[in-house]
């Protein structure tokens, strides 16, 4: 059965996918809400960089992988602090669900803008440090599955950020096509923050976008993404020394919970998978995983059609 599922999605990876992709529609920072612009509509002042389309960024070397498709610098750089709590809400382009995908990680990076104002800062020259990564929950569901039912992503900023302007790079990687090279879909979004306080942290290591990923990296090319019990390797290197409180310090996560995911979206399931004495998923857990895969396969099969466009 596992071979059938992997083969099925390998075939789907070569068929154009018509779907309700999405964008970050608002962010709540310490209780204050900021709306984002719909793609190609800069009607309001916002700290969320506007993108040109809800379609995914394809290819790890695509210049749009920095902050999203043709992202434009936002007008506002809004206040936050070390340890601030954020809720990031995604909206679908079609309006039928808040986020259409449910397989793949969510990762968060930050980069100094070199001053207090990020509205003229070019993110392609930024030195990003990873502050959080969320993969699979203990029951085998992914962090982004919670966005699928309308929940925001909860994020706590690191405790020791030096004051100044920062880009927060919030990213979803959808892996339904990741069984083949170039099949992963990147959905990055950047939010401009002005960090206050008296922190003095110096981040390490740092990465650049493009540059942090390649299309053949584990976690971007993932032939085992629908294989029950397989672990997941986060791309983009390790968490920085300035990781968010409680962020996942492991480079991998698995349905059996051998690597706990980072801060998950509010309401995300954390039901443990029952295991055998050897730590492998039990028969009942494997059966449940297979049923979930069949449901996902049927849902994706309805959404794919030949001759469409991405």
309, part of any domain: no
196 within 8 A of 119, measured Cβ to Cβ = no
Displacement of CA 152 from its chain's centroid (Å): 12
In a domain, 257, yes or no: yes
Q: Is residue 25 domain-resident?
A: yes
* Sequential pLDDT tens for the chain (310 residues): 444 444 444 433 333 334 458 999 999 999 999 999 989 887 799 999 999 999 999 999 999 999 999 999 999 999 999 999 999 999 987 655 578 888 999 999 999 999 999 999 999 989 999 999 999 988 889 999 999 888 999 999 999 999 999 999 999 999 999 999 999 999 999 999 999 999 999 999 999 999 999 999 999 999 999 887 789 999 999 999 999 998 876 788 765 433 333 333 333 333 222 223 333 333 333 333 344 444 444 444 344 333 333 4
The enclosing domain of 219 has a CATH number of: 2.70.50.70
- 308 occurs within a structural domain: no
Flag whether 227 is in a domain: yes
d(CA 204, CA 152): 28
**310 domain-assigned:** no
According to the model, what pLDDT value does residue 302 have? 41
The confidence score (pLDDT) of residue 253 equals: 77
Domain count along the chain: 1
Backbone φ and ψ of 154, nearest 5°: -95, 130
Rounded distance between C-alpha atoms, residue 8 and residue 276, angstroms: 29
Q: From CA 25, how far away is CA 28, in angstroms rounded? A: 11
pLDDT of residue 259: 34
Are 246 and 262 within 8 A, CB to CB? yes
- pLDDT given at position 3: 47
Q: How many CB atoms lie within 10 A of CB 74?
A: 24
In a domain, 222, yes or no: yes
State which residues form the domain around 37.
2-303
- What's residue 95's pLDDT? 56
272 closest CA partner among 143, 142, 137: 137
268 in any annotated domain:
yes
Strand partners, 187: 172
């Amino acid at each position: 059965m596992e071979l059938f599922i992997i083969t099925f999605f390998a075939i789907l990876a070569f068929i154009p996918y018509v779907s309700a992709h999405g964008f970050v529609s608002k962010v709540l920072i310490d209780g204050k809400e900021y709306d984002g612009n719909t793609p190609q509509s800069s009607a309001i002042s916002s700290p969320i960089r506007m993108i040109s389309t809800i379609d995914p960024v394809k290819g790890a070397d695509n210049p749009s992988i920095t902050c999203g498709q043709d992202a434009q610098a936002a007008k506002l750089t809004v206040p936050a602090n070390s340890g601030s709590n954020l809720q990031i809400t995604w909206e679908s382009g079609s309006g039928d669900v808040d986020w259409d995908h449910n397989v793949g990680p969510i990762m968060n990076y930050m980069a100094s803008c070199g001053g207090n104002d990020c509205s003229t800062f070019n993110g392609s020259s930024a030195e990003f440090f990873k502050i959080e990564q969320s993969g699979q929950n203990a029951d085998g569901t992914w962090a982004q599955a919670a966005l699928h039912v309308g929940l925001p992503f909860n994020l706590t900023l690191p405790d020791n950020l030096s004051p100044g302007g920062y880009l927060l790079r919030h990213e979803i990687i959808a892996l339904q096509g990741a069984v083949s090279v170039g099949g992963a879909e990147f959905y990055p979004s950047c939010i401009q923050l002005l960090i206050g306080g008296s922190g003095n942290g110096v981040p390490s290591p740092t990465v650049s976008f493009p540059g942090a990923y390649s299309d053949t990296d584990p976690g971007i090319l993932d032939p085992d993404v629908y294989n029950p019990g397989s672990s997941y390797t986060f791309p983009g290197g390790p968490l920085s020394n300035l990781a968010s409180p409680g962020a996942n310090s492991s480079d991998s996560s698995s349905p059996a919970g051998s690597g706990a995911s980072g801060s998950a979206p509010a309401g995300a399931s954390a039901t443990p998978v029952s295991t055998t004495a050897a730590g492998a998923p039990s028969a009942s857990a494997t059966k449940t995983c297979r049923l979930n895969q069949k449901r996902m396969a049927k849902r994706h099969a309805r959404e794919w059609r030949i001759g469409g466009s991405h």
